Amino acid sequence: MIRVGTAGWSYPDWEGIVYPRPKPRGFHALSHLARYLDCIEINSSFYGVPRAEYAERWVSEVQAWPDFRFTAKLQDVFTHRRLPGSGGDDDVGAHQLEAAAHAWLAGIEPLRASGRLAAVLVQFPHGFHQSPRTSAHLEFIEGLFGHLPLVLELRHRSWFEPATLDAIERLGYSLARIDLPAARDHPPADARAVGPIGYLRVHGRNATTWFDARAGRDQRYDYLYSEREVAELARSAGELARKVADTYVVTNNHFAGQAVTNAIELIAALRLRPEPSAPAELARKYPRLRALARTDGQDTLF
C-alpha cells in the first residue's frame, strides 16, 4: 500500500491557499488535509518533546479516515548532537538522552497505541558521514527506539555502499530514499530499498537556494515539481512499493502549498484514489490540479 502526504501541516503561507480564509467554525487542519491526503509526517516532534494531549487530539481529528497514518520525526537531540563519550562541545550525557527518550516516547504514545504511528523518521544532517563513530550512533538510537518502526534519512553518499546498507538492515532500520538537488556527495537517486518500510521523502530540486547558506527555510523548499518530475517520483514510489508492504511518500517542498499540490498529483499519478480531490483554493493557485482532481470547499480567493 502506498500513502502520500506532506511533511508538517502548520505553515503561515498555507493560509488561504491550502486552508480556507476565513476558516469556518470548528475547522481543524488535520481533518481538512485527511480529505485529500493519506498520511502526515509530524515535524514538531523534531524540535521538541511532543505532548501526549496534542497527539490524542491529532488522532481524534482523523478518526473519520481509518487508513490515515502519521509518521514522526525523531527529536534533534538524538540526531544532531554527539553521543556520550564521543567528545566535542555538543556531546550529550547518557542520562540526559535516556530521560529525553522516555519523555519523547510518552509524548507520541497516543499515536502508537491507536495504531496510527506508521514510522519514526531518524533524520541526520548532510555532515553525518559514515564512520565507526557514526555507525555506533545508529546502534545507540536503535537501542532506545528499536521497538518502533525506524526509518533512516541519511544525506551523505558514504552510507550507500552495499556492506554499509547490509549493516543498516541488520539493525532493523528501513532507509528513506530522498529526492533533493543533485550533488556529488548526495545519496544516489535510485538507492536500493532497505528494510520493511518504503519511504520516499521529497525535498524539491531548488539547487540555487539549497546550497546557499544565506537562504531561509522557505527559500530552500520553494519548489514545485513539474508534471514530468511528478511522473518520475511516482515511478520511484512504485518501485519501492513492489518490494515492501507499506510505502510512504512525503512531500517537504512546503512553501505556498506546493507540497500539497505535488502530493495530490502523486495520488493521481499512482491511482491511489478513484477520484482525487483538492481544495478549491489550492486549485485556483495551481490550475493544473483541475485536470486531475475534483475541487471542493471555498473558492473566494484572489
Task: Give the domain CATH number at 53.
Answer: 3.20.20.410
Domain with 222, as residue range(s), is 2-296
Question: Could you give the number of structural domains in the chain?
Answer: 1
Domain-embedded: residue 301: no
Domain-embedded: residue 13: yes
pLDDT by residue for the chain (302 residues), tens digit each? 999 999 999 999 999 999 999 989 999 999 999 999 999 999 999 999 999 999 999 999 999 999 999 999 999 999 988 766 555 545 567 778 889 999 999 999 999 999 999 999 999 999 999 999 999 999 999 999 999 999 999 999 999 999 999 999 999 999 999 999 988 899 988 888 899 999 999 999 998 888 888 888 888 899 999 999 999 999 999 999 999 999 999 999 999 999 999 999 999 999 999 999 999 999 999 999 999 999 986 544 43
- C-alpha distances out from residue 238 to 68, 160, 203, 248, 275, Å: 19, 21, 18, 11, 19
Domain-embedded: residue 44: yes
Domain-embedded: residue 106: yes
Q: Are 149 and 70 in contact (CB under 8 A)?
A: no
Domain-embedded: residue 225: yes
Q: Is the pTM of this model over 0.75?
A: yes
Q: Which three cell numbers stand for residue 111?
A: 499515536
